[in-house]
Amino acid sequence: MRYAVLQKNEQTPCPQQSRIPVILLVDTSESMREKSKFDALNEALINFKHDLETDAFADKSVDLSVVTFGSGINVVHTWSSIEKFDLPPIAINGTCLMGLGILKALALIEERKEYYKKNNMEWHKPVIVLIAGSEPIDLIPGSTMWRDTVEVIQESDNLGNLYFFTFVIIAMLRNLEGSIASGNVLTGIGTENGVIELLRKIAPVKRPPEYLKDNIRFNELVTRSIVSQWVCDENLKTCIENLPERVIEEQKEPIPIQSYHRIIGAAAIGPLHVVNGTPCQDAYSFEVFPSGLGIIAIADGLGSASKSEAGARIAVDAIVYGVKELVKKNLAEEIRLEIVAKESVVYARKVLGKKAAEYHCKLKELACTIIVVVMYKDNVVVAHIGDGAVVTKTNEGLRLISGPEESEYTNEVSPLTGKDWKRLLRVTPIISGILGVMAFSDGCQRAALRKTPNGLVPFEGFCEPIFSYIEEIKDIKEGEEDIKNLLLSKKICENSDDDKTLVIATLNECQKGNAV
């Protein structure tokens, strides 16, 4: 069976774009009547809408709502896509009830997250953008309102649960540069300075308030932060269609299989990495020992770490080497598979620490997730930190035995190099009666798994044809090439533009002694 036949059987659920909820929280108190402030606000909103409309990712991912606060709190634009967003009319009136406005924004975010959960949708970190031109009358440091709003915002932002931006609209824009140069604005002199000083207390330390000038586009801060949650390029589809046939990370030759295990695997660079000129950050390794014990290791380097591709390769090689040394000293029947799985991860963590010292870099620069599958006869144990998943096939059907780490936000993952790695390490009990195992990195998740009200489940349209394929192939090299081509196919890449790794093994005892 060649790639064309495998691709013909390939089925994937329709890709669903993950969402980013964004709230614009706008001051509409009497202070905004001044023309220079009103013009600056309108200019900012127009540019904001334009920036999101013209970005290939944001245009399809952002859900936007607009809340105003003056003498009352009004949701002047309910949740909608950018395509359906029209700038609402701004009614100027009354005092500045900023505290109540923040409370409303936080409530709307929670409601939206519940909507996503109910509809089995993924979402990125919410974004709240506060635009103010006057001091609030309901926010006093130390008050109950302050604790319910400012302290909640700052803690959520610091924990990485949302992005909170603050912008100050000030009058007399033509004199702003001179005021800043003379130090007047920064020392708290004048009416406008009271606003900026208060917002400095409200805003997260790492994201201080900015002046909103009529020539400043939100793209400089807000839009860039929204889009950076999942960078995408307008030419991505073209890139997918024109990918070279074999743009992959080369994998060392597997050793000849001496037992009844049959294992094939491949890693493919993601289209986004091709666009950005970054290397494949996935790595995998596997081996079957003469005793019949088999090991699979998959690592996914974190995009935020400068040496993550090296970290991923170091981790999988260390795991296979560590298991090899362990089985040299023990008979397979005498080894507890759970201990093998767990200790292999412990060993890989130690090796990463030593390599970080050799490279003169911080351990976090080698950050990666890890999946370890230990197999013996028809028994399987998995050790797992981070995303990716392991699916098994039995006589009863498909089963997800280790899924991606639970996280509220898409693309948020804990690495093997993190401080809490021991607490986050998940080791399954021994699972018996296994006919086949499929392990994959997060780039394959949307193709291989489906989201249901009861959680993730294996997608039969993807998993079953691949399990059937590995049972039928006669040439391992040919099979690996077919898997690589599958991972590079347009249909799979439409589900994810990230790197992809897929390793499949059969554990059928009837194949014992058949060297491939």
What DSSP letter does each residue of 370-401 carry, written as one string? EEEEEEETTEEEEEEESS-EEEEEETTEEEEE
Cα-Cα-Cα-Cα dihedral sign, residues 87, 88, 93, 99: negative
Task: Say yes or no to pLDDT of 426 above 70.
Answer: yes
Q: pLDDT tier at 200 (50, 70, 90 boundaries)?
A: confident
Which stretch, 23-27, 51-55, 409-413, has highest mean pLDDT? 23-27
pLDDT in tens, 245-288: 332 233 333 333 334 468 999 999 988 888 778 889 999 999 98
Nearest-angstrom CA–CA distance, 176 and 179: 5
pLDDT of residue 497: 84
pLDDT of residue 408: 61
Nearest-angstrom CA–CA distance, 55 and 272: 15
pLDDT in tens, 202-241: 888 878 888 776 444 455 556 555 555 444 333 333 333 3
pLDDT in tens, 353-368: 999 998 899 999 999 9
Nearest-angstrom CA–CA distance, 328 and 316: 19
Q: pLDDT tier at 381 (50, 70, 90 boundaries)?
A: very high
Q: What is the mean pLDDT of residues 90-115?
A: 89
Cβ contacts of 429 within 8 Å, gap of 6 or more? 338, 381
pLDDT in tens, 428-447: 999 999 999 999 999 999 99
pLDDT in tens, 2-41: 544 455 444 443 345 678 899 999 998 888 877 677 777 7
DSSP symbol at 94: S
